[in-house]
Amino acid sequence: MLRRRARPGREAAGGDPLDAAQERRVRAVLALGGVPQADLPDGVQQVRLRLLERTASGREAPRDVSAWAAVVASNLAMDWHRARRRQDRLGERLAALRPPEHTAGGEDTRLLSLAVARGLDELPDAQRQVVVLRFYADLPVRSIAEQLGVPEGTVKSRLHTAVRALRDRLHQDEVV
């Protein structure tokens, strides 16, 4: 098993290439990309493995490991969708990740989250990927473009089209 608990000084000595914050970000990107809860540890391991393979092959380490890991996680989520043919709904998985809310607006927030998740699930892979990277992984457009190897204008266009589709979906479902 590749996963080991991080101990002080291990990163520099060839230990875990992802710190705790990077691992949480990778998990979030995988979950929001549609990977089921049970498969999240495997997805995190795949990101670690790809980073270790990159280092072992002598290639230069990514300038921004966190951004690189988020994009790799996003690509893994897309691969998972292709392999599984979207058997499970993203909305159910996302709802399972949220803790139950006990406030008066909790039900409204839950319904909005489910509606957004269903809207994300209906987007084409490339649009879903940039939405997750921009709004959930909080990567700037420039970083997304660099990591995906596409022009910034392409990222902006995909974001614009995806946000418009999500907004239309939420209005159509009368959620907002």
At 60 the pLDDT is: 85
Residue 127 is encoded by which pair of tokens?
């649009």
Residue pLDDT, tens place only, 22-31:
999 999 999 9
pLDDT score, position 7: 36
Give the angle 63-64-69 at the CA atoms, nearest 5°: 120
Distance (Å, rounded) from C-alpha 115 to C-alpha 100? 17
Distances (CA, A) of 24 to 58, 73, 85, 112, 166: 27, 11, 26, 23, 25
Q: For each of the chain's 176 residues, which pLDDT tens digit applies?
A: 333 333 333 343 457 888 999 999 999 999 988 888 899 999 999 999 999 898 889 888 888 999 999 999 999 988 887 776 544 455 555 556 656 555 455 667 777 777 888 888 888 989 999 998 998 888 999 999 999 999 999 999 999 999 999 898 888 877 66
Q: What local confidence, expressed as pLDDT, does residue 99 receive?
A: 60
Check residue 97 and give its pLDDT.
Answer: 62
Q: What is the pLDDT of residue 107?
A: 67
CA distance 152 to 138: 16
What is the DSSP annotation of 84-121? HTS-S-HHHHHHHHSPPP-STTHHHHHHHHHHHHHHHH
